[in-house]
Amino acid sequence: MKSPLILLLALLSFSLSCSSSANRLASSPNASAQKDTQQLAEVAKTQNYGTEMEKVSLNDVDKEGSTAEAADRKIIRNADITIEVPSTTDAQHQVTSIAETHGGFVVTSEAKQRENNDPAQRTLDIKLVVRVPSNQFGRAFDEIKKLAGNTPSEQVTSQDVTEDFIDLEARIKTQKALEVQFLEIMRQAHKIADALEVQRQIAEVRTEIEKLEGRKRFLENRSSLSTINVNIQTPKPVITVTQTGFGHSLREAVSDSVTLASDMVLFFARFVIMMVPVFLFLFLPLGLVGRYLIRRAKRMRLAAALATPDAN
């Protein structure tokens, strides 16, 4: 809808310029009137040329659109798969090798450590984003799937964008044909105002062409290269079911008592070890100072007691 509106604006601008020329016919000499009449004829001829050119270009677009429909279809294929393997790092190297073997590559690689209270049970979960040519998508996906001892989840999606691609090509060709028409009209313009108006319309058409071509390149890239999201992880530990019964409860009580006794022994051992430096650097100096003060006080009292009879 935008292309006919742009053409209509351009034709309207020329119609306004023709009207201004017609207004000057009443006050100008006959020679000027004849000159303006010739200009109007040239502009009308150019407009007719543009209309004929647009019809030809639209016919060409229809023919080429039919040819594009007969060509191979544009399909965007994506896949998400989660695999469980004994070693995630080894599987990461194998997935990278599979992608490169089929002409693809790894886009992103992300590793995250799985939280666990036991350090020995902490493992890396790796996420890879792989892109391979669309004609190698099935083979690459099957080879990645074979690496897994278990596949908790997988999903494959496809989107046919052939119609969008053909529509973009038709719109691009229409906009380019319109750009040619504006360029031809601009060459026939004899006034600065008309030339500036046509130049503005050409800039809008060129912006629309670049936008459509960018969308076309995006669809070409997504359809020519398929994306596979691979989540690599180790098998999750099996949760054992707690047994019930008197014997099991008795064993748990004995185990808890042994654990409590060992914890108490460790607590007292740590307390003694912790108090040794406190005793050496705090209580021992305080004890020595206190002993000295007590002995000095005793000596002073003894001296005072001995001095009292002599005074009598």
- Asked whether residue 139 carries a pLDDT value surpassing 80, the answer given is yes
Burial class (CB in 10 A: 0-12, 13-18, 19+), 120: exposed
259 within some domain: yes
Residue 33: pLDDT band (50, 70, 90) is very low
* Residue 173: band (very low, low, confident or very high) from pLDDT cuts 50, 70, 90: very high
Q: How high is the pLDDT of residue 239?
A: 56
Evaluate whether residue 232 is within a structural domain.
Answer: no
Residue 109, pLDDT > 70, answer yes
Residue 26, SS3? Answer: coil
Task: Express each pLDDT in 80-93 by its tens digit.
Answer: 999 999 888 899 99
Residue 271 lies in a domain: yes
More confident residue, 30 or 174: 174
> Do 122 and 94 form a contact (C-beta atoms < 8 A)?
no
DSSP, res 28: S
Domain boundaries, position 268: 245-282
| pLDDT score of 81 | 94
pLDDT confidence of residue 306: 80
Residue 151 scores a pLDDT above 80: yes
Give the pLDDT mean for 60-72: 50
pLDDT at 51 over 50: no
The domain tally of the chain equals 1
Give the list of residues 6+ apart from residue 130 with CB closer than 8 angstroms, or none.
95, 99, 104, 105, 106, 107, 140, 144, 227, 228, 229, 230
Q: Is residue 253 part of a domain?
A: yes
Quick one: pLDDT at residue 261? 86
- Answer yes or no: is pLDDT of 243 > 70: no
Q: Using DSSP, how many helices (H) and how many strands (E) does the chain show?
A: 8, 5
Q: What is the pLDDT of residue 244?
A: 61
Q: Quick check: 189 and 202 in contact, CB under 8 A?
A: no
pLDDT at position 7: 52
Is residue 167 in some structural domain?
Answer: no
Q: Does the pLDDT value for residue 106 go beyond 70?
A: yes
Three-class HEC string of 210-262: HHHHHHHHHHHHHHHEEEEEEEEECCCCCCCCCCCCHHHHHHHHHHHHHHHHH
**Out of 64-68, 180-184, 231-235, least confident range:** 64-68
Segment 33-51 mean pLDDT? 42
Judge whether residue 231 has pLDDT over 90.
yes
Distance CA 289, CA 287 (A): 5
- Place 171 in a pLDDT band, splitting at 50, 70 and 90: very high
Percent of the chain with pLDDT over 70: 70
- Of the pLDDT bands very low, low, confident and very high (cuts 50, 70, 90), residue 23 is very low
Average pLDDT, the chain: 76
pLDDT of res. 102: 93
Residue 272 lies in a domain: yes
Q: What is the pLDDT of residue 56?
A: 42
Output phi, psi for 187, to 5 deg: -65, -25
244-255 pLDDT, tens digit per residue, is 666 777 788 888
What pLDDT is stored for residue 250 in this prediction?
A: 79
Indicate the pTM of the whole model: 0.50
Is residue 103 a part of any domain in this protein?
no
- Residue of 21 and 154 predicted with greater confidence: 154
Task: Express each pLDDT in 301-310 by its tens digit.
Answer: 888 888 776 5
For residue 98, being part of any structural domain is answered with no
- Out of 114-128, 184-198, 268-282, least confident range: 114-128
